[in-house]
A and B are shown apart, each in its own frame.
Chain A
Amino acid sequence: MLILERVGKTYPNGVHALDGVSLGVALGEIVVVIGGSGSGKSTLLRAIGGLDPANEGSVVLDGERITAPHEKIGIIFQEPRLLPWLKVADNVGFGLGGRPKQERAQRIAAALKRVGLADKARVWPRELSGGQAQRVAIARALVPRPEVLLLDEPFSALDAFTRADLQDHLLDLWADAKPTLIVVTHDVDEAIVLGDRVVVLCPRPGRVFEEIGVDLPRPRDRQSAAFDFVKRRVLTALDRSLARTVTDAAAEPKAEAGAAMWW
């Protein structure tokens, strides 16, 4: 069980990125965090992962407070971030430092097979396509068997076809060990394909605006009416979460324009 309690984050440069975000995530649940730019989605994920710990509130995993990267938490970034000087297999085994050689080799081979890249084990990362590289990154994060896997817009740099393919693939991999997934995205379709729950954040500072449960059977049909219904709900929530700040922002220049006219 992962519990966020009134998590807030202010960067040293004074930017107030997150304010009082509270969230409970059950083991094996898939929570998708969505929001406009500046809503602190990535900040939230980095706080959970311990890369940039929150400076207000707390992140607690199984009773343990997270303030630094933890072995039970894996992270997948927007870019694959493979180490270019390691062959694909060694990249996958990067997090298995202390294990016996044989066990390492077995787990690497199994993971590569699972993501369908068994034939690429002895290849340099630069020889992979974008989708393949991201699959290797997923394998690398899953090999240490994390309890929680954080994904920061993991497929946003890929073309639409590869993206849909990898979303299905991710769900497939998730079904193996059912870790908790927390996915940050700005793609509404992706949010509904993946999530048990979609958390909409509103920007400046990032707050939870609305939580929307996605009660659709898996695998989800992106074309179904039920899918569309949820999608509309999320889009509406997103619109409203942004609208408030839009009017705020729009109000000021208007006032100025009026003042200029008066003058």
Chain B
Amino acid sequence: MTIVAQSPTDNGTPTHELAAASPWSRLTRPALGLLLPVTLAVGWEFIVRMGWSSGRLMPPPSVVFATFVDLAKSGELQRDTLVTLGRVAAGFACGVAAATIIGAAAGYSPLVRRLLDPTLQALRAIPSIAWVPLFILWLGIFEASKITLIAVGVFFPVYLGLMGAIQSVDRKLVEVGRAFRLSDVEMVYRILLPAVLPAYVLSLRSGLGLGWMFVVAAEFLGASEGLGYLLIDGQQLGKPAEIVAAIVAFAVVGKVCDWLIALAAAPFLRWEDVVRQD
């Protein structure tokens, strides 16, 4: 969830926010955000080096880095990352596809909304992890149940975001479309689609954040590879450095994925009148 919570501030408006800023603040602004984590890391390293703490349960950055390098050298890190990435991608794709179709239908047609929304809202109230035993019974302990769990996690934020966005499209702009006699199809791609896009992208990003959360849950339950497996492995073998290395890998890959969505959407959202964040 941290991924989601952080992202709008630093990725929301890359182009004109940077263009408006002076070269100096372009450098200092990210640096300011790094100050706290770097200070903590250096401080911890120092404490362990001085022998004030053994650093056995919380390994210092140098040890984590060494573990990272070892895992990368053995190819384990790459393999686990790819496996996890594959699961998130598959679950995200399924969840987004379902949420987009159902969300669009429910946003567009009151009948569909009345028909489906109460059930979906009821299902949403169930903590998604509660599905796990059922999914395992139905789909086995291999990929299918994991991908389904991730898809369920991704589905709800995207469904809600898209349906809400379609319902709140400015009726005055729809009326402009009517005044210019747009057909239903034209109305969708000339008015509704562009109007809905910002909220949709935001919901994709929060959906992806949940996807990363659920992949860990899925991999805790009987996986033999993947970053989540690395976490369990580190716990069972008493290797905290491996756990921290896996956590760092999650953070990096999650952040990069989020950034890729934001980057891909940016050219279509340049028109947005966003409040500058200083």
Contacts and interface: CB of A to CB of B under 8 A. Distances in A.
Nearest to B176: A81
Contacts of A86: 271
A125 B273 CA distance: 9
Interface string B168-189: 0000110110111110001000
Contacts of B175: 51, 77, 81
B274 to A, nearest CB: 10
Interface in A58-73: 68-71
Contact of B271 (A49, A51, A68, A85): A85
B136 interface: no
Contact of A81 (B173, B181, B186, B270): B173
Interface string A75-96: 1010101011110000000110
A12 interface: no
A174 interface: no
Contact of A83 (B173, B186, B272): B173
Contacts of B179: 49, 51, 69, 74-75
A70 B181 CA distance: 7
Contacts of B273: 84, 124, 126
Interface string A235-262: 0000000000000000000000000000
A14 interface: no
B178 A85 contact: no
Contacts of B195: 85
Interface string B139-181: 0000000000000000000000000000000001101101111
A69 B183 CA distance: 12
A83 B191 contact: yes
A81 B272 CA distance: 15
Interface of chain A, helix or strand or loop or mixed?
loop
A79 B194 contact: no
A97 interface: yes
Contacts of B173: 81, 83
Interface string B182-209: 1000100001001101000000000000
Contacts of A125: 271
Nearest to B186: A97
A68 B175 CA distance: 12
Interface residues of B, number: 18
A77 B175 CA distance: 10
Contacts of B272: 84
B194 A85 contact: yes
Contact of A69 (B172, B178, B194, B197): B178
A144 B179 CA distance: 12
Contacts of A49: 179
Contacts of B181: 68-71
B271 A69 contact: no
B271 A95 contact: no
Given A51-B178, A97-B186, A79 B172 contact: yes
A175 to B, nearest CB: 24
B271 A81 contact: no
B172 A77 contact: yes
A11 to B, nearest CB: 16
Contacts of A79: 172
Contacts of B180: 69, 94-95, 97, 144
Contacts of B191: 83
Contacts of B194: 83, 85
Contacts of A75: 179
Nearest to A77: B172
Contacts of B197: 85
Contacts of A71: 181
Q: Which of A70, A71, A83, A94 has the most B CB atoms < 10 Å from its CB?
A: A83
Contact of B172 (A68, A81, A85, A126): A81
Interface of A: 49, 51, 68-71, 74-75, 77, 79, 81, 83-86, 94-95, 97, 124-126, 144
Interface of B: 172-173, 175-176, 178-182, 186, 191, 194-195, 197, 270-273
Given A49-B179, A74-B179, 12 more contacts: A68-B181, A75-B179, A77-B176, A79-B172, A84-B273, A85-B194, A85-B195, A85-B271, A94-B176, A94-B180, A95-B180, A97-B182
20 contacts: A49-B179, A68-B181, A71-B181, A74-B179, A75-B179, A81-B173, A81-B175, A81-B176, A83-B176, A85-B194, A85-B271, A86-B271, A94-B180, A95-B180, A97-B182, A97-B186, A125-B271, A126-B271, A126-B273, A144-B180
> Closest 5 CB pairs between A and B?
A126-B273, A85-B194, A85-B271, A95-B180, A75-B179
